[in-house]
């Protein structure tokens, strides 16, 4: 793949500032932030990039009023795809382990570390543990906000590029299964705010992609 474009200095600078405001300016926090930005900027990524991280953080800001611990949600957002090798489940588990290894050194309280790690693991299936899991609902909704925002076609194309090693037929099958599973849910988004912002457009976008995949099959 040759279409990788390094992130802009402005984006890196903005995200670095956001991280330090969240995690503090200790040497350990600065090192963790630099590591995270380097991970999110890895050249094999096409969708799960620093732009995705910035978008998820912006969506968390939109929904923060519905979170029980907005800081834990923001920390989880930073780590949720920090390990990304295109291996569903494994990537999220490794990312959660990174939370548990890095955040204690930054002085984050143990309870918040445990919450952030739990939230990262939730993003494997976007399935909150209970109806009153406000933090899980906010993170999962923020991660799926792209489905209902402008630029859906570019997002879908970037997902395909990340799975360029997968033959077309197998990709269409797998992608269609993911879309159908999401569309089958009574509510795509858990929070009322996310549902108001993105639900209708997300369903229209996914149905349109599914129709294209079916037509190409």
User: Which of 15-48 are b and which e, b meaning 16 or more Cβ less than 10 Å from the residue's Cβ?
Assistant: beebbeebbeeeeebbebbeebbebbbeeebbbb
Rounded to whole angstroms, the Cα distance separating 30 from 49 reads 20
Q: Which helix (H) or strand (E) holds 19?
A: helix 9-23
On whether the pTM is more than 0.85, the answer is yes
Q: Which of 192, 179, 96 is nearest to 137 (CA)?
A: 192
| pLDDT for 193 | 96
How far, CA to CA in Å, does 40 sit from each of 49, 57, 131, 179? 5, 13, 31, 25
Tokens 């969506």 sit on residue: 59
For residue 6, the 8-state DSSP code is P
DSSP structure string for 195-215? IIIIIHHHHHHHHHHHHHHHH
Sort residue 89 into left (φ over 0), alpha (ψ -120 to 50) or beta. Answer: left
Q: Among residues 74, 12, 10, 52, which one has the least CA distance to residue 162?
A: 52
Q: What is the pLDDT of residues 151-187, one digit of tens each?
A: 999 999 999 998 899 999 999 999 999 999 999 989 9
Encoded tokens for 100: 């548990």
Q: In percent, how much of the chain has pLDDT > 90?
A: 86
d(CA 40, CA 24): 20
Name the pLDDT band for 2 (thresholds 50, 70, 90): very low
Interaxial angle between packed helices 50-63 and 134-143, expressed in degrees from 0 to 180 and rounded to the nearest 10: 140
Q: What is the reported pLDDT for 169? A: 96
Q: pLDDT tens for residues 8-58?
A: 899 999 999 999 999 999 999 999 999 999 999 999 999 999 999 999 999
pLDDT (mean) for 110-116: 98
């Amino acid at each position: 793949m040759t279409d990788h474009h390094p992130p802009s200095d402005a984006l890196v600078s903005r995200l670095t500032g956001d991280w330090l405001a969240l995690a503090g300016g200790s040497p350990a926090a600065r090192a963790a932030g630099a590591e995270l930005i380097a991970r999110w900027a890895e050249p094999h990524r096409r969708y799960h990039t620093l732009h995705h991280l910035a978008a998820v953080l912006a969506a968390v800001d939109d929904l923060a009023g519905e979170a029980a611990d907005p800081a834990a949600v923001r920390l989880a957002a930073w780590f949720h795809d920090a390990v990304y090798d295109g291996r569903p489940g494994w990537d999220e588990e490794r990312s959660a382990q990174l939370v548990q290894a890095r955040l204690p050194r930054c002085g984050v309280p143990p309870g918040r570390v445990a919450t952030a790690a739990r939230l990262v693991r939730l993003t494997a299936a976007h399935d909150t543990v209970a109806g009153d899991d406000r933090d899980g609902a906010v993170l999962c909704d923020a991660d799926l906000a792209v489905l209902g925002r402008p630029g859906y076609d570019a997002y879908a194309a970037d997902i395909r590029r990340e799975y360029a090693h997968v033959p077309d037929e197998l990709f269409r099958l797998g992608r269609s299964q993911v879309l159908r599973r999401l569309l089958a849910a009574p509510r795509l988004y858990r929070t009322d705010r996310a549902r108001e912002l993105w639900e209708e457009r997300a369903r229209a976008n996914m149905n349109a992609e599914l129709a294209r995949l079916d037509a190409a099959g």
